Chain A
Amino acid sequence: MYFESVDALWHMAGHGPYVWSCYGLFIVLLAANVWHARSERKQALKQAQAFIRRNSNYQANTYVDAP
């Protein structure tokens, strides 16, 4: 490691707040993106399953094909 101690790593000779906030932002925003994409997928899966359930007792002419 470049730094002598964890404390020095945290402090970075006064530049700590800048560096750590940048890394934090990078991780948080990108993780949020990945998380959001996954939740979208989960939602879509649920929707598709609901579609199957709705159509399992489907009758040819009475079905209202609503979105």
Chain B
Amino acid sequence: MAQFNWRMPRWFHQMGSPKWFYNFGGLLQPWFTLAAFLLLTCGMVWGLAFAPADYQQGNSFRIMYVHVPAAILSQSVFLSMAIAGAIGLIWKMKIAFMVARSCIAIGATFTLIALVTGAIWGKPTWGAYWVWDARLTSTLVLLFLYAGVMALNQAISERQIAGKATAILAIVGTINIPIIKYSVEWWNTLHQSSSFSLTDKPTMPSEMYLPLLLTVLGSYFLFGLVVLTRTRAQILQTQNGASWLMQHKDISGAK
């Protein structure tokens, strides 16, 4: 492993401390919960009931308000996972591995949602649930990447080793994502000029665009919430016996 000895700023160093992360995460968590709940609820209700229908696709276009956030998050989460993994590998920071581990399930969920909602959306618009379109295919491959990361993480019983292995795979996978995307796009356009281009964005009026912004932001907060909760749970699991934890109000208070 690369063993750099870069000087870290103080806050960065602090972040590696389980105690600091646990406490600071505890402060953030309620705000994330609130933000995620409000943004998602408003965005979805707006999108479902108040936004105008698309002149071409009709009401099926409302699927966008869940499909697009899921599709965007599926990629952001993978990237976050790889960055966290890289931080863990370079600075030997255990918290970073925990964060990466917390990303896996939620990222896979977003990818699955993007795929399924996309497929469902395809039926009324394209007349088929599935076509071998570039974007669809690369999302499917992304799902497989997540499945691989998840399986690898599960298959290794020792936590530290599992964390490092997962990090390496996530990094390699991230380097590959643009390559996959590019190759798939290129492959499809060669064989079959796709009649369903997703790329040109309709110039949307703001009452169609704003709900989307809300759900996307809400999804980011939800992602943050899940990562915080999971990482803090892992801190609890691995810090058995640390004095700060044993005297923490979460534990002694809840007793």
Chain B interface size, under 10 / 10 to 19 / 20 to 34 / 35 or more: 35 or more
Q: Which one of B50, B121, B225 lies within 8 Å of A22 (CB-CB)?
A: B121
Q: Which one of B113, B232, B246 lies within 8 Å of A29 (CB-CB)?
A: B113
Q: Residues of A within 8 Å of B, CB-based: how many?
A: 35
| Complex Cα–Cα for A11 and B117 (A) | 18
Contact A12 to B59, CB < 8 A, known contacts A33-B106, A34-B225? yes
Q: Which one of B60, B67, B105, B236 lies within 8 Å of A44 (CB-CB)?
A: B236
Contact A9 to B117, CB < 8 A, known contacts A15-B59, A18-B123, A48-B245? no
Residue contact A34 to B52, C-beta cutoff 8 Å: no
Residue contact B254 to A22, C-beta cutoff 8 Å: no
Residue contact A45 to B240, C-beta cutoff 8 Å: no
Residue contact A22 to B48, C-beta cutoff 8 Å: no
Closest A residue by C-beta to B123: A18
Residues from chain B with a CB closer than 8 A to the CB of A16 are 59
Can you list 13 A-B pairs with a CB-CB distance of less than 8 A?
A2-B53, A15-B60, A19-B59, A19-B63, A30-B113, A33-B105, A34-B226, A37-B225, A38-B229, A41-B236, A45-B251, A45-B254, A47-B236
Known: A15-B59, A21-B120, A26-B113. 6 other contacts (CB 8 A): A13-B53, A18-B63, A22-B117, A30-B222, A34-B229, A48-B240
**A residues adjacent to B (C-beta < 8 A):** 1-3, 9, 12-13, 15-16, 18-19, 21-23, 25-27, 29-30, 32-34, 36-38, 40-41, 43-45, 47-49, 51-52, 55
**B residues adjacent to A (C-beta < 8 A):** 44, 48-53, 58-60, 62-63, 66-67, 70, 102, 105-106, 109, 112-113, 116-117, 120-121, 123-124, 222, 225-226, 229-230, 232-234, 236-237, 240-241, 245-246, 250-252, 254-255
